[in-house]
Each structure stands twice: as C-alpha cells, then as structure tokens.
Structure 1
Amino acid sequence: MTEILAAAIAQTGPWLHFESLGLDPVALDLGFFQLKWYSLAYIAGIIIGWWYLLKLLERPGAPMSRQHADDLVFYATLGIILGGRLGYILFYRPDLFGSPLQIFRLWDGGMSFHGGVIGVTLGIIALARKHGLNWLRVHDYVACCVPFGLLFGRLANFINGELWGRVTDVPWAIVFPRTGLDLPRHPSQLYEAALEGLVLLAVLAWFFWRTQARYYPGRLVGIFLLGYGSARFFVEFFREADEQLMWLQDATGLNMGQYLCLPMIFGGVYLIARSKARRQRVEPIVGESVA
C-alpha cells in the first residue's frame, strides 16, 4: 500500500527539490578548516540564550546573580554536548557502544535533545549545590532560554537536509536527495523550528513577563516540558522515523521520539500542578558569589 501511494504521489509533481534552494551545510570553507551551520547553531543558541538569561535576571526576585549566570554557561554547554551525544547513542544508536571511538565523533552528527535536557539539568543541579542556589528556580529561568537553541538547531537540520518528514502530497512538500528516493516529504524540520522554537519561546516569554510564574518554582520548567513534549509528539507524526528504529513505529504506531516525550509531558503537568505549593516571596539573591 505504501509503495502504491508513493508512486501516485511521485507522479503528481512537480515538487520543490531541496537542491534548488542553494543551501550548503558548510557556512565557511577555508580548505583546511570548515565551519558548519550546525556548529554555528549550537554557538548561537548558547550565546543568545545567555544574553536572554541576563535580561531575565534583571527582573526582581532573580534566583542567581550575573556571576552565577556566567558560570552556568560552562555547566550548560558541557551538559548539552555530553548529554546530547550520550543520549543519542543510548536512545537511537546503541550499536555504537561497540565502537568506543565512534562515540566521540561529534562532527559526524548525532545529538539527542532529550539527552541534552538531562545533561543540562544535571549541570544546573551541580551549580546550585556548589553555590547554595535553588536549582528548580534556576532551571525555570534556563527553560525560558532553551527555545533559541531549538530554533537554530532545527533550522540547521533543514539546511543539512536531514531529519526529513514522511512522504506527502502537500503543496509545500520538498524532495530531499539524501533519502535516496525522489519523493516529496514534509519539511518537518521547519515545523519543529516553528513550534519548539518560536511558539514555545513566545509562550514562556508571556508567562515570565506577564505573570508571576517565576515566583512558583518549577512552573516555567513544567510549561517548557509540557510545551516541548506536546509539540514534538505532534510533529513526529509528520517526521520519518530513524531507519534503525523503523520497526518500533511499525509495531506500535509511535516512534522513539514520541516515547521519549511522554515522560516530559507527564513531568511537565506534575511540576505545574505542584508549583503553587512552592510559592516563594521575592528575596535577595542567595548563594555564594562566584570568583
């Protein structure tokens, strides 16, 4: 049935071909050195997220100082890289555990956002314990900044022509050459950039700037988890599953990304529901200063 549908769709074109967009995964090529858009996406996400975090900390009742925020950049970056890479291998490519050298080949791609979330969370907890901060309130502020990284990361996925969507006949479908099939697909990377990046950023900004959510520890983190988990779960219906995990989708109707989103959704609901009991009054920043 799938083959018949694909054949019918292929003959209804013409469709937009990815090559016609003139996109190149390499942003700068000096011959001896290449700078890729994917790397720039991580750098931009961290720098702009840090800048936005400083803006959030200017509001009354901040859970940490500017010095703590500067220190947090190191912990968060380490958590993103280590957590993202190990999460990808654990959730999507466990076969790489048999080739230890492959684990460190970050330039070949392969990062898991869910793993990155765990890594950043552990980094925040480590920083909070070191300086006597409320880790959940710190996490609330960090959660408001994460959509920047998601936006740039998904746009980089699109520029790379990777993580494409399922075969479709919608007018905006794109033929991605790396699929090996001349069939139009959903540009699911752009769906995720819009929902996980722009929409989630706007929702968190509204709750932070227009409500008292930042005084309820865990509420903003909960909104982020619920928002991201729901958006990602929805978009996965339009996204092609990883080839090595196609069996999971065929067997259950859901793919690995959706299963990983379920704990995020439930955890988000729990944190939002429990946040009222954690209500804090505005206090001066506590914790040790950072040298």
Structure 2
Amino acid sequence: MIPAVLQFPDLSPTLFSIEIGSFTFALRWYALAYIAGILIAWRMAVAAVRAPRLWPGESPPMNDRQIEDMLTWIILGVILGGRLGFVLFYQPEYYLSHPAEILKVWQGGMAFHGGLIGVIVAAWLYTRRQGIPQLSAADLIAYTVPPGLLLGRLSNFVNAELWGRASDLPWAVVFPGPRAQECPGVKGLCARHPSQLYEAGLEGLLLGLLLIVLVWRRDALKAPGLVCGVFFTGYGAARFFVEFFRQPDPQFVSDGNPLGLAWQVGGYGLTQGQALSLPMIAVGLFLALRARRRARTA
C-alpha cells in the first residue's frame, strides 16, 4: 500500500439530472465547461475589439457581429476536429472496424490537437470569406482559449479521467475504477499524478495570465502573429512536459512498452501527445519570431 496519498474526492460528473418518464436529461460538468469556455472566449474577444488602442493602426480586425458569426464556425470546428482527431490519432483501427461509433460523441473521445486543427480550418474559411486579416484573427482566438482549457481540465479531474502515471508523491490521488487503481508492480491501491490539474495550471491558468499581460500591457496584438505564436509554443511545451506524468491511452501500453510510447527510435521515444505537440512548438516559435522581427522592422 502506498502511504501518504489522497483519496479522490466524492465528486459527481453530473451537475444535475431530470427524469421525465423514460427520458433523462443530465447536465455534466464537462458539457458545462465547454459552454462556459465558449461564453468567456466570446466576451474576451468582444472586449478586445472594443479597445482600438490594442490593434495596429488602432483598427480592430473584426466587429461584434463578425465575432458572433465566427464563433458558430469555431464551435463546429471544435466538435468535428476534436472527434476526428481522437479517431485518427488515438484509435484509428477500432473506429475503422466500427465506423458507426465515430458519430457517438456523447460516449467520449475528443482530442485537443484535432480540435485545434478544426478551429484553424474553420477560422481560415470564415476570415477568408470576410476579408479579415487572418493573423490578427488568429491572435484574437488564441488569446481567448486558455479559460476553456482551464475549465476543461478541471472537468477531466471531476470525471476522474485522463489521470496520470503511478506516483508516491504526497499529492498523488487514488482515482476510482479498477483500471485506475491497478498498476503493474504496485501492491494494493495505485495512486497517480493528478495530471489533469497540472494541465489546468499550465495550459489554462499560467498561459492565460501570460497572454492577458501580453495583450493588455505589452501591446502584443500590434504584432500580428505574436499572441498566436506564444499560445502555440506555450501549450505545446506545457503538454509535452505533462506527458511525462500523464498515463497514456491504453492502446499504446503493452508489456514491451509500459511507458506507452507511440514513436520509438533507438531506445528513445515520444508519447502520442508529445509527438503532436512538437509541430505546435515549431509553428509557434516561427510565428512569434517572425512577428517580433516584422514589428522591429516597422
């Protein structure tokens, strides 16, 4: 038995449920996190475009109505991209054998990197049709994302999902469920890193505060691409780091691969999350450095 660990608190993934005959409506914390994240992002974006001093030439790239219209596109991009990303990046063989399961979003299975690709595609299509400066629009979107990440990771913790690797640290948590409580080489209950909280703190709180300072104190929106570049780099680095403590998806774990490495060369390897984060870091550094260089030249 591992001493000095924390038991998972008595939390329900459902905020409330209503039964009407044979029909049951349940509002889950995860769904509420999506809703709240979208509403917060919308208000943050509106506040930013209503402050002309933040933008190049004191000319915001969008108005309130365009933000609302683009939000509809982005919601579709998040849902479609997140689901297809999970299918392609994490369980392609299963879903190729069970294609009808792809549409069952309510059964879980969303990938952030897939959702990010969906948002990029949706925003690119909308801004191209509207003639909106795309780098400035990307900065605006990136600035508003961290609160949703914070709430999403907190709801992952409430749902007791996406937990971390086995640990004997004082803040390690014994999560409910037999798969979470049984670890190879560990006798008795298995305590794990609360990696959802690590991600909430790094991807949501810390990165969000950094972007707020850059936007409102450092005039970062006047260098198109800078805020987006910092977000890509910050999220990619945070996710890469947390993957050392996060339990990989079961399809990647085996007796010969206990760390769940998806990519291995010469005895070294990366988890799937780390492999998907490296391009984000590279693109983010490119965007941020190019934005700084152009700003200095201007």
TM-score (norm 2): 0.87
Q: Distance in 2 between matches of 1:265 and 1:236?
A: 15
Is 1:83 the counterpart of 2:81? The answer is yes
The match for 2:3 is 13
Query: Which amino acid is the alignment partner of residue 85 of structure 2?
Result: G
Point out where structure 1 has 5 or more consecutive residues left out of the alignment. Answer: 1-10, 281-291
The Cα offsets for residues 23-68 of structure 1, whole Å up to 9 and x where unpaired, read as 0011111131111111111111111111111111112132111111
The match for 1:3 is none
Q: Distance in 1 between matches of 2:146 and 2:292?
A: 24
Quote the offset at 1:16 in angstroms.
1.8
The match for 1:201 is 208
Structure 1's 63 and 277: CA in aligned 2 closer, same or farther, altered over 3 A?
A: farther
Quote the offset at 1:276 in angstroms.
3.5
* Percent of aligned pairs with the same amino acid: 46
Query: Which amino acid is the alignment partner of residue 71 of structure 2?
Result: V
The match for 2:126 is 127
The match for 1:249 is 261
Q: 2:43 pairs with 31, 51, 68, which one?
A: 51
> Is the 8 Å Cα contact of residues 70 and 126 (structure 2) preserved in structure 1?
yes
The Cα offsets for residues 172-196 of structure 1, whole Å up to 9 and x where unpaired, read as 1101123142201100000000000
Query: Which amino acid is the alignment partner of residue 248 of structure 2?
Result: A
Query: Which amino acid is the alignment partner of residue 119 of structure 1?
Result: G
The match for 1:64 is 62
Quote the offset at 1:279 in angstroms.
4.4
The match for 1:177 is 176
Is 1:24 the counterpart of 2:12? The answer is yes
Query: Which amino acid is the alignment partner of residue 29 of structure 2?
Result: W
> Is the 8 Å Cα contact of residues 142 and 231 (structure 2) preserved in structure 1?
yes
Quote the offset at 1:14 in angstroms.
4.7
Farther off after superposition, 93-102 or 62-71: 93-102
The match for 1:222 is 229
Quote the offset at 1:253 in angstroms.
3.7
Is 1:267 the counterpart of 2:283? The answer is yes
Quote the offset at 1:226 in angstroms.
0.4
Q: Distance in 2 between matches of 1:73 and 1:278?
A: 29
Q: Distance in 1 between matches of 2:118 and 2:96?
A: 19
- Runs of 4+ in structure 1 displaced over 3 angstroms? 250-253, 276-280
Q: Distance in 2 between matches of 1:159 and 1:196?
A: 17
Point out where structure 2 has 5 or more consecutive residues left out of the alignment. Answer: 53-58, 183-188
Q: Distance in 1 between matches of 2:98 and 2:150?
A: 32
Q: Distance in 2 between matches of 1:249 and 1:92?
A: 12
Structure with the larger helix share: 1
Q: 1:231 pairs with 238, 244, 251, which one?
A: 238
Aligned-residue CA RMSD (Å): 1.8
Q: Distance in 2 between matches of 1:93 and 1:62?
A: 42
The match for 1:38 is 30
Q: How many residues align?
A: 270
Is 1:166 the counterpart of 2:154? The answer is no
Quote the offset at 1:100 in angstroms.
1.7
Q: Distance in 1 between matches of 2:219 and 2:5?
A: 48
Query: Which amino acid is the alignment partner of residue 56 of structure 1?
Result: A
Quote the offset at 1:213 in angstroms.
1.4
SS in 1 for 2:261: helix
Q: Distance in 2 between matches of 1:238 and 1:256?
A: 13
Q: Distance in 2 between matches of 1:136 and 1:277?
A: 15
SS in 1 for 2:148: helix
Quote the offset at 1:224 in angstroms.
0.1
Query: Which amino acid is the alignment partner of residue 31 of structure 2?
Result: S
Structure 1's 278 and 121: CA in aligned 2 closer, same or farther, altered over 3 A?
A: farther
Quote the offset at 1:12 in angstroms.
3.6
Higher relative contact order (CA 8 A, sep 6+): 1
